[in-house]
Amino acid sequence: MSVSDFLKNATSKWMRDDGPESDIVISTRIRVARNLAKYPFPLLATDSQAEAIIEDVQRAIQQPAFRKLGNFELLRCKNLTELERNVLVEKHLISPNLAEEVRHGAVVLRDDEAVSIMINEEDHIRLQCIVPGLEISSAWQLANQLDDALELTLNYAFDEKRGYLTACPTNVGTGIRASVMMHLPGLVITNQIHRILQAISQVGLVVRGIYGEGSEAVGNLFQISNQLTLGQSESEILGNLQVVAKQIIEHERQARRQLMRDNREQLEDRICRSFGILSYARRIDSKETMQRLSDVRLGIDLGIIKGVSSRILKELMVMTRPAFLQKYAGQELAPGERDWRRASIIRERLRMDDSQI
């Protein structure tokens, strides 16, 4: 495998499947934060220590116990262009923070892109597993297997009272961050989203945008995760998220039924108008694209739009982002050029999808 294998397709292999509750839950992610006992946290590590951390992880992933869990490739950020790093961010394979850590950062990717291990981000190791739909248990099972395999070789920083030690106090304890990416247009359109999000914050969960902390919730996509990892067991963290996610799913379904019952004409107009714009527009910016794609996905899920696969919308969510657009074009594009090329790709993909149905 090479970096080009991870950059050539907009959708990761896991994105092509639908999991449970996939009409609302796009994906489930488990992230495990770990640090190596013999080194200071990345912010305080010297150049030689940061390099040693990468080498230690590289040795760990070459061990038989780890290799049986898949085919992996280690990529160093310093060997990637800024554009390539940004494409990996848009595909949710690395964080925006790691993309900026050019000298010391690295990432280990599995060939299906369901697993990524960021090295020298905020912590020495940030292990991430992503699966489609609401699959908290299976995502955790995979993450736990990978974590155990790494720990056979690596000596983690661990305290008997506090648990796993991390750079940020909110991650101390289990070091686990479990999250679900949810598409909630019904709650947004019916103006219920703020009440729901407020209730979420009161039960120890936090809501972020599509690219995590500090990012905007564009396209009615919300990432909901646990806030603290200290004082709770893994099963408590995962169980709490599962219960809340199920409740949000039911609220979203109720909102969609309400819209279909009380405002069907307006809803159909909104959805079909967005589909028309995506099908025929000559220029469209990134933010409008995400909103229109959200409308069309809602239309597909409600049976208003037929002959278009929701899979194509997942692909367009990545293909139309700035970095992937430029990678696809093979050149740097000014904002106006990106808007033109974005519209062209959307028209092409929607026509192609329609011809395959």
Tell me if 160 is assigned to a ligand binding site: no
Q: Is 201 marked as binding a ligand?
A: no
- Rounded distance between C-alpha atoms, residue 203 and residue 178, angstroms: 14
Residues 6+ apart with CB under 8 A from 294: 183, 185, 219, 220, 221
The answer on whether 31 is annotated among ligand-binding residues is: yes
Q: Are 31 and 179 within 8 A, CB to CB?
A: yes
338 among annotated binding-site residues? no
Q: Is 260 annotated as a binding residue?
A: no
126 is in an annotated binding site: yes
Q: Is 210 within any annotated ligand binding site?
A: yes
Q: Is 280 annotated as a binding residue?
A: no
CA atoms in the 13 A half-sphere facing the CB of 308: 29
249 marked as binding residue: no
Could you tell me if 174 and 286 are in contact, meaning their C-beta atoms sit under 8 angstroms apart? no
Annotated ligand binding at 211? The verdict is yes
Residue 92 known to bind ligand: yes
The response to whether 320 counts as a known ligand-binding position is no
Binding site annotation covers 188? no
- Residue 209 is labelled as binding a ligand: yes
The response to whether 46 counts as a known ligand-binding position is no
Residue 30 among known ligand-binding residues: yes
3-state SS track over the chain: CCHHHHHCCCCCHHHHCCCCCCCCEEEEEEEEEECECCCCCHHHCCHHHHHHHHHHHHHHHCCHHHHCCCCEEEEEHHHCCHHHHHHHHHCCCCCHHHHHCCCCCEEEEECCCCEEEEECCCCCEEEEEEEECCCHHHHHHHHHHHHHHHHCCCCECEECCCEECCCCHHHCECCEEEEEEEECHHHHHCCCHHHHHHHHHCCCEEEEECCECCCCCHHHEEEEEECCCCCCCHHHHHHHHHHHHHHHHHHHHHHHHHHHHHCHHHHHHHHHHHHHHHHHCCCCCHHHHHHHHHHHHHHHHCCCCCCCCHHHHHHHHHHCCHHHHHHHHCCCCCHHHHHHHHHHHHHHHHHHHHHHC
Known binding-site positions:
27-31, 92, 126, 177-181, 208-213
Known binding-site positions for ATP:
27-31, 92, 126, 177-181, 208-213
